[in-house]
Each structure stands twice: as structure tokens, then as C-alpha cells.
Amino acid sequence: MNWAVAIKGACLAAMLALVGGSLIPSARAEDVTLTVWSHEADEPAKVAFRDQVASDLEKQHPGLHIKITWFEKNGLYTALRTALPAGRGPDVFYLEPDQLHQYVTAGYLLPLDDLVNWNQIYPWARAVWQENGKSWGIPQEVNDNVIYYNKDWAKKLGVVLPVGGQLSQSAFVDLVKKARAAGMVPIAQGVGDRPYPGAYIIGEALLHKLGKEDYAKLWTGKLSFSDPRVVEVLTWVKQLVDAGAYPKDFMTIKLGESFYYFYSKPGALMLPMGSFYSGRAFAPPDKGGQPADFPLGIMQYPAMDGGACNNCQTAGIGSSFVINAATKHPKEAAEFLDAMSTPASGAIWIGKVYEPGAMKTDITQFGGPHGAYLSELMESQKNVDPFIGMPLDLMTDGGCKDAFGQVLNSAFPGGLLSVDKAVQMMNAACYQH
């Protein structure tokens, strides 16, 4: 047998099969597979919610298959940054508002104004996702920045607060000192894998002191960090740091670990956190959730002396979803977004995740094992004047964001910088003279 001819023929046949196979439609015309990339892989309640929405939608639309790939946030963002420029991104993906500007500028998002049912979403939540007069993402999760605390430990220190109670700035310092003296870790917080948790107390204190307008100006580079009010707040935070407010492992504790640190081992008095706390904390205890009998309390951030808005509170939009501008299935993608946003879905979201959502739902109706927590959370928000957007959502410059992560999130609360040095570094990176 002429082996040379046989081998050449086999190679040719293989090539033809590869090329020809790609020309043949791989599915029937009505079959659509919608690819979704999502964060929250380590939050079982949210995974359950999105899986249920996907499953229900598939039942309603035979031929529609929704394939969700779960990531951790950093991994998701890295995957998107390589897949989208290569034209290989998913149809729908998770995004947070701090990413909006760059993705819109890069042209990777489909405007949603005429695609989704906006009657299901609160207008103020929709506004977070608007740029250049268009809406680019559908918000799902609303994070209220509160301070979770151990009620029993606080009582031992002589502090009993009403729901959503608020201490003065000096009383807060006293509480931290008392906790340290009693051998407690005052604040469980870690910045090992996120660029924002270390700045919760700083951010809310600045919001209370400056008021909404000047607070927004600070993070958009229009107000200097040398402003006496800013220096006053940073000086107060320095008192907390010097009093031992944060754990020694502050630099390396990861976000998820700080939850466990707070309600389990070794335990801490307080945990400043967004209300996405429930996504991890209400997992079963053997899967890292808080103990069933944990005495969880909720307080507001301290009132600042002479503060312009001590009842202001940051309400950030967290998990949201967008549609890839290159998708071949915009209609199906929009249906998936709508399906996640119905009042019924909102009810499922709250029933599983115990968090406020951006979908219009009457959340006072719900009970369940954590219904009391939800009632307490909503009670704590009664007199709050919300400021929509975390500092990182407001910044658009990469250098400023990097400095925020290294300075105000990490080094300053970690006790590595003086007030003057922190002011100098933030001004150098963010202030537009």
C-alpha cells in the first residue's frame, strides 16, 4: 500500500471534516443556549436563586437552555477582560457599577432601555446603571452599609442599643477601647482579597461629616483630602486604629474569612459590612454560616460631631447583570434579566438571600428562619437618608482606585500611615486641582 498517499488522504479527510462540520448548524433553529457568567460562587443562597430562575425560564421556553458558569469575582473580571476583546464572551454576565464606565467606553455592553421591563426595578437603582443617557445593567442586589454586632458581647460592655441605633463618635471610640480591654477583637475586618472593606468606617464617617454633595465631590476628585473636615474624620479613625480596633491579621484576612472571624472563631464585637452579609452568614453553620443562636444586632455608623448628614447611609448596588453587545441572543438574554427581576423573583430572592433587592417587592410579608433579621434590617433603615454608590463606584481613574485600595482600604486602617501621609497620597492620586 502506498502509505504516503494514505496518510495524505487521511489528513485531507480530517481537515474537511473539521471545516465542513463547522459549517453545519450544530442545533435546530429553535434551540438556544444562553451563556451566563456570574460571581457569587461561594454564596449558596444566590446560586440557588439564579439556578431556580434559570430552571423556571427553561420550562416556560422549551428549546432555551441557560448555562451558568460560576466564578469568584476577581476570576470573573479577569476572564471577561480576556474573553470580551477576543469576541468569546458570554451572552449575559455579572457586573458591578464600579465597572460600568470602562465597559461602556469599550463598547462591550448592550443598552437595555428598550429590552427589559423597567417597571419592575426601582428608578433610583436603575439610575446607578445609567451613563450617556442609557441604561446598561439591571441591578439586583441592594447593599445597605451597616455595622453588624454581637448583642451579648455589647451588653457585657454595658452597651445596649435599639435596632438601628447610633453611637456618637466618642462613644464609639470608648466601645472599641472597652472591647480591647475585655480581650475582645473590636472589629472583624480583612482586606486580603477586596479593595474596599477596610474603608467602610472611613467612608461612612466621611459621608456623615461632609454630607452627600461634598462626599461625592471627594471621590470624584473635586474636593481635596486636605479639607479640614476630611482630616478631622481621618484623625478620629486613627484613634480607633491606635486603640486596636482591627485585628492584627487585617491585611491578610479575606472577606469571607472576616465573616467567620466575626460570628465564630475567634469572634469579634462588630463587623462593618454591606447587607450582603446574609448571603454567606445564613448558609448552614457546617458550611460556614453563623451559628443558629448567634445574637446578631444591627447598628448605624457613628454620628460625627458637627456632621452634615448623620442619618445618611451608603446604599450600594451590588450584583447586577448586563448583556454582551456581541450576543447573538439579545431577546433571550433580556428575558433572563426580566425573569430575575419580577416581583415573584424578588420574593424568592428575599426568601433565599434575606437581602433587599432592586426589584419592586413588598418585603414586609416575609417570615422564614431569618424573617426577624430582615424585619430588623428594614427597621434600621427607617430614618436613613440613602446615598447611592460606594466610593469605588464613583471613581473612574484607575490610579485613584489603586490608591484607595492601598491607602484608605488597607494601609491607613492597618496602622501603617499617619493622617498626613494618607492625605498626601490620596491627593496625589485622586485630587484634580
Please report, as ranges, the residues that interact with another protein according to CB under 8 A: 2-4, 7-8, 11, 77-78, 81, 85, 101-102, 105-108, 191-193, 247-252, 266, 395-399, 401-402, 406-407, 410-411, 414, 416-417
Dihedral (Cα; 350, 381, 360, 43), 10-degree rounding: -30
Relative to beta strand 320-323, strand 92-95 is antiparallel
CB-count burial class (<10 Å; 0-12, 13-18, 19+) for 42? middle
- Closest CB to another protein among 4 and 29? 4
In whole angstroms, the minimum distance from the beta carbon of 331 to another protein comes to 23
- Closest CB to another protein among 379 and 402? 402
Residues 301/270, Cβ–Cβ less than 8 Å: no
200-219 vs 228-242: helix crossing angle, rounded to 10: 160
- Closest CB to another protein among 27 and 106? 106
Of 248, 93, 110, 126, give the one whose Cα is nearest residue 186: 248
- Closest CB to another protein among 115 and 417? 417
In whole angstroms, the minimum distance from the beta carbon of 8 to another protein comes to 7
Measured between alpha carbons, how far is 40 from 410 in angstroms, rounded to an integer?
A: 23
Query: Looking at the chain, how many residues does it have?
Result: 433
Question: How many CB atoms neighbour CB 362 within 10 A?
Answer: 10
In whole angstroms, the minimum distance from the beta carbon of 199 to another protein comes to 14
Q: Which residue has the cell 448628614?
A: 309
- Closest CB to another protein among 142 and 234? 234
Measured between alpha carbons, how far is 146 from 325 in angstroms, rounded to an integer?
A: 36
Relative to beta strand 64-70, strand 32-38 is parallel
330-341 vs 343-353: helix crossing angle, rounded to 10: 60
In whole angstroms, the minimum distance from the beta carbon of 28 to another protein comes to 31
- Closest CB to another protein among 105 and 432? 105
- Closest CB to another protein among 303 and 392? 392
- Closest CB to another protein among 52 and 264? 264
- Closest CB to another protein among 9 and 162? 9
Measured between alpha carbons, how far is 127 from 125 in angstroms, rounded to an integer?
A: 5
- Closest CB to another protein among 6 and 17? 6
In whole angstroms, the minimum distance from the beta carbon of 268 to another protein comes to 11
In whole angstroms, the minimum distance from the beta carbon of 184 to another protein comes to 13
In whole angstroms, the minimum distance from the beta carbon of 251 to another protein comes to 3
C-alpha dist (Å) from residue 361 to 271, 337, 343, 344: 28, 16, 5, 8
Measured between alpha carbons, how far is 135 from 130 in angstroms, rounded to an integer?
A: 4
HSE-CB at 17 with a 13 A cutoff on CA atoms is 6
In whole angstroms, the minimum distance from the beta carbon of 13 to another protein comes to 15
- Look up residue 30 and give its amino acid: E
In whole angstroms, the minimum distance from the beta carbon of 216 to another protein comes to 18
Measured between alpha carbons, how far is 246 from 185 in angstroms, rounded to an integer?
A: 7
Q: Three-state DSSP class for 58?
A: helix
